[in-house]
Homo-oligomer: A and B are copies of this chain.
Amino acid sequence: MIALAPTDTVRGRATVWIEALHDELTALFTTLDAGGTFVEDRWTREGGGGGVTRVLTDGTTFERGGINRSVVGGALPPDAARRLGGRVPVGGDCEFFATGVSLVVHPRSPMVPTLHLNVRYFEVTDADGAPLDSWFGGGTDLTPFYPHEADVRHFHRALRATCDRHHPSLYPRFKPWCDRYFTNVHRGGEARGVGGIFFDHVRPGADESRLDVDGLFAFAGAVARSPVTTYAPIVDRRRDEPYGDRERRFQLERRGRYVEFNLVHDRGTSFGLQTNGRAESILMSLPPLAAWRYDARYEPGTFESALEAMLTPREWAAGE
């Protein structure tokens, strides 16, 4: 592991914070699964750092769930630096430090949507350790397989409420960012799901919210804890709803699009694979089973076409 930073530094504080969020999320999703347990793997990364991956396989509610935390750092490869988008000197040697927690759960039932969540703290320093840049990033988004519009409205409204407690500018800025980010460009701009929020390079005191380090820890922590209000009620409401082979089949095909996004477009996945990350931990976001069907098209009036229509970004939190 990376030498532990003292907790009076921001990176030290971030490390402890991520550990606590990881444990809270594990407890929440163990309860939510109502049967399965997470198995833990601790790993170290060649080049610096390591992490703790917790995976639930063949659970009661979740066909697979993964919750990963990591603290990584070391030399920042030029390619990765270029894509990172922070204030990073061109061509200069620099180092990075990153700690974060990420979660993806793939429910068994197509009536229950998939949830993704991530929060992270990132620092870039020069080769002598002098700070060049630091920021928070993260987000959470929903991928339904059945067109329960009420669930999507619930998710977005609860998420907006969470954000609004920290600053009224957050949801209105980070909701469209999420819509732009989780897009399968190669599929004509089709969204991965119905969105949520996404943010990156949010620097203490530097954005519209003017949240300082304490404020950003509080906000990003609230995002990490948001499934309690955004997602758990949906799981409870839908987990016992009946479904058939057709719904399962469609879920597997939508999961195929999820795989496409994660492997072709997701910056976190690319960054991890490029920086010698642990493939099993990075790719735990992939579903346990996914399908591809050539040129699938659905008649108007079917639940499949209704679901596809929901993928066009909309103001789901409006009108409450």
> Cα distance A260–B259 when bound, in Å?
9
Contacts of A41 in B (CB 8 A): 295
Flag whether A20 is at the interface (Cβ < 8 A): no
Partner of A280, one of B57, B66, B295: B295
Contacts of A188 in B (CB 8 A): 279
Compute how far the CA of A94 lies from the CA of B279 in the bound complex, rounded to whole angstroms: 38
Bound complex: CA of A288 vs CA of B296, how far in Å? 12
A272 CB to closest chain B CB, in angstroms? 9
Q: Name the one of B57, B252, B279 contacting A293, with C-beta atoms under 8 angstroms.
A: B57
State which of B263, B264, B294 has its C-beta within 8 Å of the C-beta of A57.
B294
What distance in Å separates the Cβ of A186 from its nearest Cβ neighbour in chain B? 4
With known contacts A259-B263, A263-B259, A279-B186, A294–B289 Cβ distance under 8 A: no
Given that A260-B263, A263-B263 are contacting pairs, would A283 and B292 also be in contact in the complex, using a CB cutoff of 8 Å? Answer: yes
* CB-defined contacts of A263 to chain B, threshold 8 Å: 259-260, 263-264
**Chain B residues within 8 Å of A218, by CB:** none
A273-296 interface mask toward B, CB cutoff 8 Å, 1 = contact, 0 = none? 100000110111011111111110
CB of A256 within 8 Å of the partner chain: yes
Q: Is A83's beta carbon under 8 Å from chain B? A: no
State A254–B42 Cα separation when bound (angstroms): 25
Chain B residue with Cβ nearest A55: B294
In contact, B290 and A289 (Cβ under 8 angstroms): yes
Pick the most buried of A55, A252, A295: most chain B CB atoms within 10 A of its CB: A295
Q: State the Cβ distance, A77 to closest chain B Cβ, in Å.
A: 13
B-contacting residues, A31-69, CB 8 Å? 41, 55, 57, 64, 66
A288, B280: Cβ atoms closer than 8 Å: no
Asked whether any CB of chain B lies closer than 8 Å to the CB of A165, the reply is no
**Is B264 a contact of A280 with CB atoms below 8 Å?**
no
Beyond A264-B264, A287-B292, A289-B289, list 11 extra A-B contacts (CB 8 Å): A55-B295, A186-B282, A252-B289, A259-B290, A260-B263, A260-B283, A263-B263, A263-B264, A280-B295, A289-B290, A290-B292
